[in-house]
Chain A
Amino acid sequence: MFIQQLINGITLGSTYALTAIGYTMVFGILELVNFSHGSVYMVGAFLCLVLITSFNLGFFTAFAISLAVIGLLGVVIDRIALLPLRRRNAPKVTALISTIGVSIVLQNLIILIFGSQTKNFPLLMNFPSIQMGAFRLSALQLVILTASIVLMIGLTVLIKKTKIGKAMRATAENMEAAKLMGINVDFIIGFTFFLGASLATVAGVMVGAYYQAIDPMMGFMAGLKAFAAAVLGGIGVLPGAMLGGLLIGVSETMAAGYVHAGLRDAIGFAILITVLLIKPTGLLGKKTQKKV
């Protein structure tokens, strides 16, 4: 029972982690909480569903197209709703409200097109489940876990080892200095949004496949929890987002399994608040020195 809950928790947590990466990367560079991220996650799942059911594409084709399209959506969001504000040096909270506007638009567009009911997400293939003693690991869970791990390793390599990753780190460190070093900062920010939105799509589609259902409101809670995960691990720190996601996922399934199902959504936040009160920069967050 305990191990079963742990497996379910890690599966759920890895999707939070993938979504949290989008928050943390954007925050690292822009110091902005991107509230449209949850809606992007939901739109990704819907796009994939439409491509599968209405265009009769195979899952992998549909998935690949969704990744690219939603990635571009991320770039478009940055260009329309955030870039003009950045150019004018507007206060950070203005950008935050702007992303909330984007989120309202996306969510209601989807409701307008598909209605607000829950949609069936087709079973991708007939997954066998692996019975190991008392607990069960479904192949789908295995796919989700593997995909998450591969993506996270890939992302870490991208950021640590490649030239564009170096540019991203430089932009996060100091945008002005990065500009002076000849880095096209707007391109890097766009690229960051592309990556974040694509990863959110992966998470959205996997969650859709896992529960075999998606609905226009699914991005809301998932977005909040992913944000919580990013902050729990230390916002702006990539491994922090992964750790935070897993912790929130596991604690959530544990709370639902052992305490009370209704407290499922509250436990993550309770843990987050407790951790922040003890360590104000999150679990892996760097301590920043205030300078005059």
Chain B
Amino acid sequence: MSSSVIKAVFSKTDAALKARLIKYISTRRLLLVVLLLVLIGVPLMPVSSFVVRMIIMAGLYIILTLSLNLITGYTGQLSLGHAAFYAIGAYTSALLSLRSGLSFLVTAPVAALVAAAAALMLGIPALKLQGAYLAIVTLGFNEIVRIVALNWMSLTRGPMGLPGIPNPRILSYTIRSSRDYYYLILGLVLITIIVMYRIINSRIGRGFIAIREDELAAEAMGINTHCYKILSFTIAAFFAGLAGSYYAHFVTYIDPQSFTFEESIQMLSMVVLGGMGSIPGAILGAIVLVVSPELLRFLQDYRMVIYGGVLIVMMLLRPQGLLGGQNKIKAKVVREDEAIRG
């Protein structure tokens, strides 16, 4: 008797398991797995090191764009100084490995934490500000960080920069070839994407989105908006710092010139181009703006002029960004509103 019960239970779970498996293996997931396999396989394909390098840079900007997307795209707070945290991460990591010889496993998290701490300190007072005021404060912070890096000779060597940053070492393995670098950035990008998805689809993430949609309403619903904004800003800076750390170890030379306001603007352009508040959008935006200047290289001197023109045209053609679909709920409300108005 007992055996028949066990059998029944088992066959039941089996069917449930099967159903769950079928549900789990949707086309989308399958596509993602294929994409991941292709990405893992890229360095094994006959591609030039130039292409690999470009993909690495795209990966780096994907992390930066995803993090900026959290604060600007999801939480709706315009930051024009994201490169400041990128710089803080890069300098922290470079100095730690140059002066104390610490490995990447230590320097990268520390760099990210230092960047996050800087964001926390800036964010507590600054995130009380709105719109253009917040924009100029973050912009100003970016400039101050750059100018301090330029003038603090004893620490940063100023305009001479920091050369000879050691290759990243993970346990006893030293990352040298572009293939190794590729896998490292791939791992970091995947971690960032997963973390971003988890945040956005959580209670906190919904809080962020609520603040973007209507700060006053969010506050009325019991969200501590100031706290949430600081949280979003700090997490964003954490990942920017992580990207900075990777950048320092990847190019092995950093100077203040790499972290200007234009760099922040570049990141913001990627977020807006891809579509604010969209993770695939942020990824696409980063890829397009890293690759397009390379594709436009044949234009030589006209390249940057065309690039600016492309930016304008893209904004005019798709103001919501490439993948930034309209917010469905909002669109419905607007439609009903219009129907009432006639």
Contacts and interface: CB of A to CB of B under 8 A. Distances in A.
Contact of B269 (A80, A85, A100, A282): A100
A91 to B, nearest CB: 7
A231 interface: yes
Contacts of A95: 315
A84 B268 CA distance: 21
Contacts of A100: 265, 269, 311
A161 interface: no
A163 interface: no
Nearest to B147: A266
Which of B217, B301, B308, B310: most chain A CB closer than 10 A? B308
Given A85-B315, A88-B319, A277-B125, A103 B308 contact: yes
Contacts of B131: 31
A157 B125 CA distance: 38
The prevalent SS among residues of B at the interface is: helix
Contacts of A276: 126, 129, 133, 136-137
A191 B213 CA distance: 33
Contacts, number: 130
Interface residues of A, number: 49
B320 interface: yes
B144 A105 contact: no
Which of B72, B137, B304, B312: most chain A CB closer than 10 A? B312
Interface string B142-172: 0110011011000000000000000000000
A276 B133 CA distance: 8
Contacts of B273: 97
Contacts of B143: 224, 265-266, 269
B261 interface: yes
B272 A105 contact: no
B307 interface: yes
B331 interface: no
A228 to B, nearest CB: 6
A102 B305 CA distance: 9
Nearest to A88: B319
Contacts of A88: 319
A270 interface: yes
Contact of B272 (A80, A94, A281): A94
A273 B147 contact: no
A266 B148 contact: yes
Interface in B291-327: 301-302, 304-305, 307-312, 315-316, 319-320
Nearest to A103: B308
B176 interface: no
Interface string B114-147: 0000000000011011111101110111011001
Kindly list the 10 A-B residue pairs having the minimum CB-CB distance in the complex, ordered from nearest.
Answer: A104-B308, A90-B319, A269-B140, A101-B311, A105-B308, A101-B312, A108-B304, A266-B147, A262-B151, A98-B315
Interface of A: 27, 31, 33, 35, 80-81, 84-85, 88, 90-91, 93-98, 100-106, 108-109, 111-112, 224, 227-228, 231, 235, 260, 262-263, 265-266, 269-270, 272-273, 276-277, 280-282, 290, 292
6 contacts: A98-B312, A100-B269, A101-B315, A103-B308, A266-B144, A270-B140
